[in-house]
């Protein structure tokens, strides 16, 4: 009888443990179902997938004057996704909130030739009014931003291992974002690790500055990107 009672007690304990495990499992499932679902954040990689390292914004609602100013030959329709790769000579996006984004290998890179970039912005803004240029190289940490209006560059800063362009006074947006700008010949690289830190920070802030000045390509919502195709074409002009 004592042996039988011991077996019965063990069986009862086992059943109670099994029931308790079932209750805990159901509670966990219930909590999981009631927990609010979180929308995945836009990752660093996915953001830059729709943002080229170099782009220009034009204050305009009609892409035809932009096309004429750039001298595009045989323009063809081009999707936003393809245009944002930067592989076309010029890509002119559809108007978004009063601005038009231009990308492509035809845009002058200030890190390569800052004088060419200056002449380009002066000429284009002389024809189109207000234009802005943004450059953010995640690998080399080269970066630049510039704005011009009616043929005059009102503000520009470019870094390519040293300050190669610093024109005009810092704008309120640059001050708000604590963007670092150095004068010609000024050496901020006494500490190499500090230099890597601030140049990387500047690169990361270029899209934020673009948002305050005009447009960041990566922050244009999908509906606006898919609303209409842009225009792509070649230009034989030398600026």
Q: Which has the closest alpha carbon to 76: 65, 94, 91, 56?
A: 91
Beta bridge partners of 145: 134, 157
Could you give the CA distance from residue 30 to residue 18 in angstroms, rounded to a whole number?
A: 18
Q: Please count the other Cβ atoms lying within 10 Å of the Cβ belonging to residue 42.
A: 11
Q: Could you give the C-alpha distances from 100 to 134, 145, 195, 221, in angstroms and in order?
A: 14, 17, 34, 15
Is the alpha carbon torsion for 103, 204, 171, 166 positive or negative?
Answer: negative
Could you give the CA distance from residue 150 to residue 92 in angstroms, rounded to a whole number?
A: 20
Residues constituting the chain: 239
Could you give the CA distance from residue 135 to residue 57 in angstroms, rounded to a whole number?
A: 12
| pLDDT values of the chain reduced to their tens digit, one per residue, 239 residues | 665 565 566 665 565 655 656 655 565 555 544 443 433 333 333 444 568 999 999 999 999 999 999 999 888 999 888 888 888 899 999 999 999 999 999 999 999 999 999 999 999 999 999 999 999 999 999 999 999 999 999 999 999 999 999 999 999 999 999 999 999 988 776 555 566 788 999 999 999 999 999 999 998 877 666 667 899 999 876 55
First to last CA, the chain: 104
Rounding to the nearest 10 degrees, give the CA dihedral for residues 196, 216, 119, 183: -30
Could you give the CA distance from residue 80 to residue 224 in angstroms, rounded to a whole number?
A: 10
């Amino acid at each position: 009888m004592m042996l039988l009672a011991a077996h019965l007690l063990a069986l009862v304990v086992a059943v109670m443990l099994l029931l308790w495990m079932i209750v805990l499992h159901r509670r966990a499932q219930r909590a999981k179902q009631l927990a609010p679902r979180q929308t995945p954040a836009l990752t660093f990689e996915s953001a830059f997938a729709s943002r080229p390292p170099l782009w220009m914004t034009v204050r305009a609602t009609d892409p035809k004057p932009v096309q004429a100013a750039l001298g595009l030959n045989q323009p063809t329709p081009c999707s936003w996704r393809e245009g944002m790769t930067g592989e076309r000579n010029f890509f002119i996006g559809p108007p978004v909130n009063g601005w038009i984004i231009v990308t492509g290998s035809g845009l002058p890179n200030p890190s390569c030739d800052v004088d060419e970039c200056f002449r380009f912005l002066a000429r284009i803004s002389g024809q189109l009014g207000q234009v802005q240029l943004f450059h953010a190289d995640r690998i080399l940490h080269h970066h630049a931003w510039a704005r011009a209006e009616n043929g005059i560059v009102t503000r520009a800063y470019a870094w390519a291992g040293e300050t190669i362009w610093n024109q005009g006074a810092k704008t309120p947006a640059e001050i708000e974002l604590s963007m670092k700008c150095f004068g010609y010949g000024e050496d901020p690289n006494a500490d190499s690790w500090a230099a890597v830190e601030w140049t990387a920070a500047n690169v990361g802030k270029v899209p934020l500055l673009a948002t305050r000045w005009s447009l960041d390509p990566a922050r244009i919502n999908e509906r606006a990107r898919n609303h209409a195709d842009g225009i792509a074409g070649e230009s034989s002009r030398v600026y």
